[in-house]
Amino acid sequence: MHSRVTAETISALYQQESRRVLATLIRLLGDFELAEEALQEAFACALQQWPVEGLPTEPRAWLVSTGRFKAIDKIRQQQSQRKYQQQWLFEQDEDIEAFQPDESSAQNWQDDELRLIFTCCHPALSTEAQIALTLREICGLTTEQIAKAFLTSPVTIAQRIVRAKNKIRDAAIPYEIPTAEQLPERLDVVLKVIYLLFNEGYNQSSGDQLLCAELSAQAIRLGFLLLQLQPDTETMGLLALLLLQESRRHARIDPQGDLILLAAQDRSLWDQALIQQGVQLVERSLTGRRVGPYGLQAAIAALHAQSPDAASTDWPQIVALYDVLYRFEASPVVLLNRAVAISMAQGPAAALPLLQALEQNGELAQYHLLDAALADIHQKLGHNRLAKFYYKNALSKTSQQAEQRFLQKKLQTLG
Protein backbone atom coordinates (compact mmCIF):
# COMPACT_ATOMS: atom_id res chain seq x y z
CA MET A 1 0.00 0.00 0.00
CA HIS A 2 1.49 3.32 -1.08
CA SER A 3 1.65 6.34 1.18
CA ARG A 4 -0.83 9.10 0.42
CA VAL A 5 0.47 11.80 -1.91
CA THR A 6 -1.12 15.23 -1.44
CA ALA A 7 -0.97 18.43 -3.47
CA GLU A 8 1.22 19.84 -0.68
CA THR A 9 3.70 16.96 -1.17
CA ILE A 10 3.90 17.69 -4.90
CA SER A 11 4.22 21.44 -4.27
CA ALA A 12 7.14 20.80 -1.90
CA LEU A 13 8.75 18.55 -4.51
CA TYR A 14 8.31 21.31 -7.09
CA GLN A 15 10.21 23.72 -4.85
CA GLN A 16 13.02 21.21 -4.33
CA GLU A 17 13.40 19.62 -7.76
CA SER A 18 11.85 21.73 -10.51
CA ARG A 19 15.02 23.58 -11.51
CA ARG A 20 17.02 20.35 -11.78
CA VAL A 21 14.28 18.68 -13.82
CA LEU A 22 14.16 21.78 -16.05
CA ALA A 23 17.92 21.64 -16.60
CA THR A 24 17.64 18.06 -17.87
CA LEU A 25 14.60 18.82 -20.05
CA ILE A 26 16.48 21.70 -21.68
CA ARG A 27 19.29 19.28 -22.53
CA LEU A 28 16.88 16.68 -23.94
CA LEU A 29 14.69 19.12 -25.87
CA GLY A 30 17.21 21.82 -26.81
CA ASP A 31 14.76 24.66 -26.26
CA PHE A 32 14.05 26.77 -23.16
CA GLU A 33 10.37 27.46 -23.81
CA LEU A 34 9.56 23.90 -24.84
CA ALA A 35 11.31 22.59 -21.72
CA GLU A 36 9.46 25.04 -19.45
CA GLU A 37 6.11 23.94 -20.91
CA ALA A 38 7.13 20.30 -20.53
CA LEU A 39 8.01 20.87 -16.87
CA GLN A 40 4.58 22.35 -16.15
CA GLU A 41 2.88 19.50 -18.04
CA ALA A 42 4.82 16.93 -16.05
CA PHE A 43 3.83 18.42 -12.71
CA ALA A 44 0.20 18.73 -13.89
CA CYS A 45 0.26 14.99 -14.64
CA ALA A 46 1.82 14.32 -11.25
CA LEU A 47 -1.05 16.18 -9.56
CA GLN A 48 -3.51 13.91 -11.36
CA GLN A 49 -1.72 10.56 -11.08
CA TRP A 50 0.37 10.46 -7.90
CA PRO A 51 -2.52 10.87 -5.41
CA VAL A 52 -4.07 7.77 -7.05
CA GLU A 53 -1.02 5.68 -7.99
CA GLY A 54 1.40 6.77 -5.26
CA LEU A 55 4.82 8.42 -5.41
CA PRO A 56 7.13 6.91 -8.07
CA THR A 57 10.35 5.26 -6.90
CA GLU A 58 12.33 7.94 -8.79
CA PRO A 59 10.16 11.10 -8.89
CA ARG A 60 12.74 13.15 -10.82
CA ALA A 61 13.12 10.49 -13.51
CA TRP A 62 9.34 10.17 -13.78
CA LEU A 63 8.98 13.94 -14.25
CA VAL A 64 11.74 14.10 -16.87
CA SER A 65 10.30 11.15 -18.80
CA THR A 66 6.73 12.49 -18.63
CA GLY A 67 7.77 16.02 -19.59
CA ARG A 68 9.84 14.77 -22.51
CA PHE A 69 7.04 12.66 -23.94
CA LYS A 70 4.54 15.49 -23.49
CA ALA A 71 6.89 17.72 -25.49
CA ILE A 72 7.25 15.06 -28.20
CA ASP A 73 3.45 14.81 -28.43
CA LYS A 74 3.24 18.57 -28.84
CA ILE A 75 5.92 18.52 -31.55
CA ARG A 76 4.02 15.80 -33.41
CA GLN A 77 0.89 17.96 -33.36
CA GLN A 78 2.66 21.03 -34.71
CA GLN A 79 3.56 20.24 -38.29
CA SER A 80 5.32 23.59 -38.66
CA GLN A 81 8.03 22.41 -36.26
CA ARG A 82 9.19 19.31 -38.14
CA LYS A 83 12.83 20.29 -37.64
CA TYR A 84 12.44 19.78 -33.89
CA GLN A 85 10.58 16.52 -34.48
CA GLN A 86 13.37 15.15 -36.62
CA GLN A 87 16.06 16.37 -34.28
CA TRP A 88 14.66 15.24 -30.94
CA LEU A 89 12.04 12.57 -31.59
CA PHE A 90 14.37 9.76 -32.55
CA GLU A 91 17.91 10.69 -31.57
CA GLN A 92 17.91 10.64 -27.78
CA ASP A 93 16.01 7.57 -26.58
CA GLU A 94 19.09 6.46 -24.66
CA ASP A 95 18.84 9.55 -22.42
CA ILE A 96 15.74 8.20 -20.69
CA GLU A 97 17.79 5.23 -19.54
CA ALA A 98 20.13 7.63 -17.74
CA PHE A 99 17.33 8.45 -15.33
CA GLN A 100 16.56 4.91 -14.24
CA PRO A 101 17.67 4.21 -10.66
CA ASP A 102 21.40 3.61 -10.75
CA GLU A 103 24.54 4.82 -9.02
CA SER A 104 25.35 7.43 -11.68
CA SER A 105 21.99 9.25 -11.67
CA ALA A 106 23.10 11.86 -9.10
CA GLN A 107 26.02 12.76 -11.35
CA ASN A 108 23.67 13.12 -14.33
CA TRP A 109 21.56 15.68 -12.47
CA GLN A 110 24.63 17.61 -11.33
CA ASP A 111 26.10 17.70 -14.84
CA ASP A 112 22.81 18.99 -16.28
CA GLU A 113 22.72 21.82 -13.74
CA LEU A 114 26.31 22.81 -14.50
CA ARG A 115 25.66 22.62 -18.25
CA LEU A 116 22.71 24.97 -17.86
CA ILE A 117 24.65 27.39 -15.65
CA PHE A 118 27.45 27.67 -18.19
CA THR A 119 25.01 27.94 -21.11
CA CYS A 120 23.30 30.87 -19.40
CA CYS A 121 26.68 32.41 -18.51
CA HIS A 122 28.03 32.29 -22.08
CA PRO A 123 30.28 35.26 -22.97
CA ALA A 124 28.23 35.91 -26.13
CA LEU A 125 25.57 37.36 -23.80
CA SER A 126 25.97 40.60 -21.86
CA THR A 127 26.94 40.18 -18.20
CA GLU A 128 23.57 41.57 -17.08
CA ALA A 129 21.72 39.14 -19.34
CA GLN A 130 23.85 36.21 -18.16
CA ILE A 131 23.08 36.90 -14.51
CA ALA A 132 19.36 37.61 -15.06
CA LEU A 133 18.85 34.49 -17.19
CA THR A 134 20.69 32.23 -14.77
CA LEU A 135 18.85 33.55 -11.71
CA ARG A 136 15.53 33.00 -13.52
CA GLU A 137 16.11 29.63 -15.19
CA ILE A 138 18.41 27.83 -12.77
CA CYS A 139 17.55 29.45 -9.49
CA GLY A 140 13.85 30.05 -10.08
CA LEU A 141 13.84 33.65 -8.83
CA THR A 142 10.98 35.83 -10.04
CA THR A 143 11.62 38.78 -12.33
CA GLU A 144 10.62 41.02 -9.40
CA GLN A 145 13.28 39.48 -7.13
CA ILE A 146 15.94 39.80 -9.85
CA ALA A 147 14.91 43.40 -10.54
CA LYS A 148 15.51 44.28 -6.88
CA ALA A 149 19.00 42.75 -7.05
CA PHE A 150 19.74 44.90 -10.13
CA LEU A 151 17.91 47.99 -8.77
CA THR A 152 15.87 48.13 -11.99
CA SER A 153 12.32 47.35 -13.20
CA PRO A 154 10.82 43.86 -13.69
CA VAL A 155 9.94 44.80 -17.31
CA THR A 156 13.62 45.51 -18.05
CA ILE A 157 14.64 42.16 -16.55
CA ALA A 158 11.95 40.28 -18.49
CA GLN A 159 13.18 41.83 -21.74
CA ARG A 160 16.78 40.86 -20.97
CA ILE A 161 15.76 37.26 -20.31
CA VAL A 162 13.74 36.97 -23.55
CA ARG A 163 16.59 38.45 -25.61
CA ALA A 164 19.12 36.11 -23.97
CA LYS A 165 17.01 33.01 -24.71
CA ASN A 166 16.57 34.10 -28.31
CA LYS A 167 20.30 34.63 -28.72
CA ILE A 168 21.07 31.17 -27.28
CA ARG A 169 18.62 29.65 -29.77
CA ASP A 170 19.62 31.72 -32.82
CA ALA A 171 23.37 31.43 -32.24
CA ALA A 172 23.04 27.71 -31.39
CA ILE A 173 25.07 28.22 -28.22
CA PRO A 174 26.06 24.70 -27.10
CA TYR A 175 24.52 23.23 -23.98
CA GLU A 176 27.70 21.94 -22.39
CA ILE A 177 30.26 22.36 -19.62
CA PRO A 178 33.10 24.42 -21.14
CA THR A 179 36.62 23.14 -21.53
CA ALA A 180 39.30 23.98 -18.96
CA GLU A 181 40.54 26.76 -21.25
CA GLN A 182 37.06 28.31 -21.50
CA LEU A 183 36.25 28.15 -17.79
CA PRO A 184 38.09 31.26 -16.54
CA GLU A 185 36.21 33.68 -18.81
CA ARG A 186 32.88 32.43 -17.43
CA LEU A 187 33.81 31.74 -13.82
CA ASP A 188 33.37 35.25 -12.41
CA VAL A 189 29.77 35.52 -13.64
CA VAL A 190 28.91 32.03 -12.34
CA LEU A 191 30.31 32.98 -8.92
CA LYS A 192 28.28 36.20 -8.96
CA VAL A 193 25.09 34.29 -9.75
CA ILE A 194 25.60 31.85 -6.88
CA TYR A 195 26.40 34.76 -4.55
CA LEU A 196 23.21 36.66 -5.52
CA LEU A 197 21.13 33.49 -5.18
CA PHE A 198 22.44 32.93 -1.65
CA ASN A 199 21.80 36.57 -0.73
CA GLU A 200 18.15 36.28 -1.77
CA GLY A 201 17.80 33.22 0.46
CA TYR A 202 19.71 34.80 3.35
CA ASN A 203 17.91 38.15 3.24
CA GLN A 204 14.85 38.10 0.98
CA SER A 205 14.30 41.38 -0.85
CA SER A 206 10.56 41.50 -0.11
CA GLY A 207 7.74 39.65 1.62
CA ASP A 208 7.08 38.65 5.21
CA GLN A 209 9.83 36.04 5.64
CA LEU A 210 13.42 37.24 5.98
CA LEU A 211 14.96 33.84 5.19
CA CYS A 212 14.41 31.27 2.44
CA ALA A 213 16.32 28.12 3.38
CA GLU A 214 15.72 26.46 -0.02
CA LEU A 215 17.46 29.23 -1.99
CA SER A 216 20.45 29.32 0.36
CA ALA A 217 20.77 25.53 0.27
CA GLN A 218 20.60 25.59 -3.53
CA ALA A 219 23.39 28.18 -3.70
CA ILE A 220 25.59 26.15 -1.34
CA ARG A 221 24.98 22.96 -3.34
CA LEU A 222 25.92 24.76 -6.58
CA GLY A 223 29.02 26.12 -4.83
CA PHE A 224 30.12 22.58 -3.95
CA LEU A 225 29.48 21.40 -7.54
CA LEU A 226 31.49 24.29 -8.94
CA LEU A 227 34.36 23.61 -6.52
CA GLN A 228 34.55 20.02 -7.80
CA LEU A 229 34.72 21.31 -11.36
CA GLN A 230 37.05 24.24 -10.72
CA PRO A 231 38.99 24.17 -7.41
CA ASP A 232 39.95 27.83 -7.83
CA THR A 233 40.80 29.91 -4.76
CA GLU A 234 37.90 32.29 -5.40
CA THR A 235 35.49 29.36 -5.72
CA MET A 236 36.77 28.21 -2.32
CA GLY A 237 36.37 31.75 -1.00
CA LEU A 238 32.77 32.01 -2.19
CA LEU A 239 31.79 28.62 -0.74
CA ALA A 240 33.51 29.53 2.55
CA LEU A 241 31.56 32.80 2.68
CA LEU A 242 28.24 31.03 2.08
CA LEU A 243 28.93 28.38 4.75
CA LEU A 244 29.98 30.96 7.33
CA GLN A 245 26.93 33.13 6.67
CA GLU A 246 24.65 30.09 6.71
CA SER A 247 26.06 29.07 10.10
CA ARG A 248 24.22 32.03 11.66
CA ARG A 249 20.81 31.32 10.11
CA HIS A 250 19.04 30.07 13.25
CA ALA A 251 20.29 33.00 15.33
CA ARG A 252 19.20 35.71 12.86
CA ILE A 253 15.49 35.71 13.68
CA ASP A 254 13.48 35.43 16.89
CA PRO A 255 10.49 33.05 17.36
CA GLN A 256 8.22 35.69 15.79
CA GLY A 257 10.40 35.86 12.66
CA ASP A 258 11.85 39.27 13.53
CA LEU A 259 15.41 40.28 12.68
CA ILE A 260 18.22 39.99 15.25
CA LEU A 261 21.40 41.91 14.37
CA LEU A 262 24.81 40.23 14.57
CA ALA A 263 25.83 41.89 17.85
CA ALA A 264 22.69 40.66 19.63
CA GLN A 265 22.65 37.10 18.30
CA ASP A 266 22.89 34.06 20.59
CA ARG A 267 26.16 32.64 19.32
CA SER A 268 25.48 29.26 20.90
CA LEU A 269 22.95 28.80 18.07
CA TRP A 270 25.63 29.19 15.40
CA ASP A 271 26.36 25.95 13.52
CA GLN A 272 29.90 25.00 14.53
CA ALA A 273 30.24 22.30 11.85
CA LEU A 274 29.55 24.85 9.10
CA ILE A 275 31.94 27.32 10.75
CA GLN A 276 34.70 24.69 10.82
CA GLN A 277 34.13 23.86 7.13
CA GLY A 278 34.08 27.53 6.22
CA VAL A 279 37.24 28.42 8.15
CA GLN A 280 39.15 25.54 6.54
CA LEU A 281 38.11 26.77 3.08
CA VAL A 282 39.10 30.35 3.99
CA GLU A 283 42.56 29.19 5.00
CA ARG A 284 42.98 27.28 1.73
CA SER A 285 41.63 30.23 -0.26
CA LEU A 286 43.98 32.79 1.30
CA THR A 287 47.06 30.67 0.62
CA GLY A 288 46.21 30.38 -3.09
CA ARG A 289 47.63 32.42 -5.92
CA ARG A 290 44.47 34.39 -6.67
CA VAL A 291 42.96 35.95 -3.56
CA GLY A 292 39.88 37.90 -4.56
CA PRO A 293 36.76 39.61 -3.18
CA TYR A 294 34.97 36.42 -2.11
CA GLY A 295 37.99 35.12 -0.23
CA LEU A 296 38.36 38.46 1.54
CA GLN A 297 34.67 38.60 2.49
CA ALA A 298 34.98 35.03 3.78
CA ALA A 299 37.99 36.05 5.89
CA ILE A 300 35.86 38.83 7.43
CA ALA A 301 33.02 36.35 8.08
CA ALA A 302 35.51 33.95 9.70
CA LEU A 303 36.66 36.63 12.16
CA HIS A 304 33.03 37.15 13.19
CA ALA A 305 32.38 33.41 13.39
CA GLN A 306 35.37 32.73 15.65
CA SER A 307 34.67 35.59 18.10
CA PRO A 308 32.80 34.78 21.33
CA ASP A 309 30.97 38.12 21.20
CA ALA A 310 30.83 41.39 19.26
CA ALA A 311 33.06 43.30 21.68
CA SER A 312 35.99 40.88 21.41
CA THR A 313 35.88 40.72 17.59
CA ASP A 314 39.11 41.87 15.92
CA TRP A 315 37.56 45.00 14.42
CA PRO A 316 40.87 46.62 13.35
CA GLN A 317 41.66 43.49 11.32
CA ILE A 318 38.19 43.63 9.74
CA VAL A 319 38.76 47.29 8.79
CA ALA A 320 42.09 46.30 7.21
CA LEU A 321 40.40 43.51 5.21
CA TYR A 322 37.77 45.98 3.96
CA ASP A 323 40.62 48.26 2.83
CA VAL A 324 42.02 45.41 0.71
CA LEU A 325 38.55 44.42 -0.51
CA TYR A 326 37.94 47.97 -1.74
CA ARG A 327 40.95 47.65 -4.06
CA PHE A 328 39.23 44.71 -5.75
CA GLU A 329 35.70 46.06 -5.58
CA ALA A 330 35.48 49.86 -5.38
CA SER A 331 31.85 49.74 -4.28
CA PRO A 332 30.03 52.18 -1.96
CA VAL A 333 28.57 49.15 -0.16
CA VAL A 334 32.12 48.08 0.77
CA LEU A 335 32.74 51.58 2.11
CA LEU A 336 29.50 51.40 4.10
CA ASN A 337 30.52 48.10 5.71
CA ARG A 338 34.01 49.50 6.39
CA ALA A 339 32.47 52.55 8.12
CA VAL A 340 30.37 50.27 10.35
CA ALA A 341 33.52 48.30 11.26
CA ILE A 342 35.32 51.58 12.08
CA SER A 343 32.46 52.55 14.39
CA MET A 344 33.07 49.32 16.29
CA ALA A 345 36.86 49.72 16.28
CA GLN A 346 37.15 53.45 17.00
CA GLY A 347 33.71 54.58 18.14
CA PRO A 348 30.66 56.11 16.42
CA ALA A 349 32.19 59.60 16.11
CA ALA A 350 34.93 58.21 13.83
CA ALA A 351 32.38 56.60 11.51
CA LEU A 352 29.93 59.50 11.20
CA PRO A 353 31.87 61.61 8.63
CA LEU A 354 32.46 58.48 6.50
CA LEU A 355 28.73 57.74 6.40
CA GLN A 356 27.90 61.38 5.71
CA ALA A 357 30.30 61.32 2.75
CA LEU A 358 28.51 58.27 1.36
CA GLU A 359 25.18 60.05 1.79
CA GLN A 360 26.46 63.11 -0.10
CA ASN A 361 27.84 60.88 -2.86
CA GLY A 362 24.28 59.78 -3.66
CA GLU A 363 25.05 56.31 -5.08
CA LEU A 364 23.28 54.67 -2.13
CA ALA A 365 20.36 57.09 -2.09
CA GLN A 366 17.83 54.24 -2.31
CA TYR A 367 19.79 51.77 -0.15
CA HIS A 368 18.00 51.53 3.20
CA LEU A 369 21.01 50.10 5.03
CA LEU A 370 22.90 53.40 4.69
CA ASP A 371 20.02 55.24 6.38
CA ALA A 372 19.85 52.51 9.05
CA ALA A 373 23.59 52.85 9.72
CA LEU A 374 23.32 56.65 9.98
CA ALA A 375 20.37 56.26 12.35
CA ASP A 376 22.30 53.84 14.55
CA ILE A 377 25.37 56.13 14.73
CA HIS A 378 23.26 59.19 15.56
CA GLN A 379 21.39 57.22 18.25
CA LYS A 380 24.69 56.14 19.84
CA LEU A 381 25.86 59.77 19.79
CA GLY A 382 22.62 60.90 21.47
CA HIS A 383 21.30 62.70 18.37
CA ASN A 384 17.80 61.28 18.77
CA ARG A 385 16.05 63.66 16.36
CA LEU A 386 18.44 62.75 13.55
CA ALA A 387 18.25 59.08 14.48
CA LYS A 388 14.46 59.20 14.07
CA PHE A 389 14.82 60.96 10.72
CA TYR A 390 17.13 58.29 9.31
CA TYR A 391 15.15 55.35 10.73
CA LYS A 392 12.06 56.75 8.98
CA ASN A 393 14.07 57.11 5.76
CA ALA A 394 15.25 53.51 6.02
CA LEU A 395 11.70 52.34 6.70
CA SER A 396 10.43 53.99 3.51
CA LYS A 397 13.09 52.27 1.37
CA THR A 398 12.57 48.60 2.25
CA SER A 399 9.64 46.32 1.36
CA GLN A 400 10.99 43.47 3.50
CA GLN A 401 8.45 43.18 6.31
CA ALA A 402 10.84 41.71 8.91
CA GLU A 403 13.18 44.66 8.35
CA GLN A 404 10.27 47.08 8.56
CA ARG A 405 9.23 45.63 11.93
CA PHE A 406 12.82 45.94 13.19
CA LEU A 407 13.03 49.60 12.14
CA GLN A 408 9.63 50.37 13.68
CA LYS A 409 10.83 48.94 17.00
CA LYS A 410 13.90 51.17 16.78
CA LEU A 411 11.67 54.20 16.28
CA GLN A 412 9.54 53.18 19.26
CA THR A 413 12.59 53.03 21.53
CA LEU A 414 13.29 56.66 20.59
CA GLY A 415 9.77 57.62 21.69
Q: Are 414 and 375 in contact (CB under 8 A)?
A: no
Which stretches of the chain drop beneath a pLDDT of 70?
Answer: 1-3, 78-110, 151, 205-209
CATH class of the domain whose range is 335-415? mainly alpha
pLDDT on residue 107: 60
Query: DSSP letters of 298-319?
Result: HHHHHHHHT-SSSTTS-HHHHH
pLDDT on residue 93: 44
pLDDT on residue 312: 92
Domain range annotation of the chain: 7-102, 335-415
Tell me which residue of 396, 345, 349, 346 sits closest to 370, measured CA to CA.
396
pLDDT on residue 280: 95
**Alpha-carbon distance values, 43 to 37, 59, 112, 296 (Å):** 10, 10, 19, 42
pLDDT on residue 82: 52
Q: Are 369 and 394 in contact (CB under 8 A)?
A: yes
pLDDT on residue 208: 67
pLDDT on residue 106: 56
pLDDT on residue 84: 52
Tell me the one-letter amino acid at 384.
N
Q: Are 165 and 32 in contact (CB under 8 A)?
A: yes
CA dihedral 82, 85, 88, 91 (to 10 degrees): -100
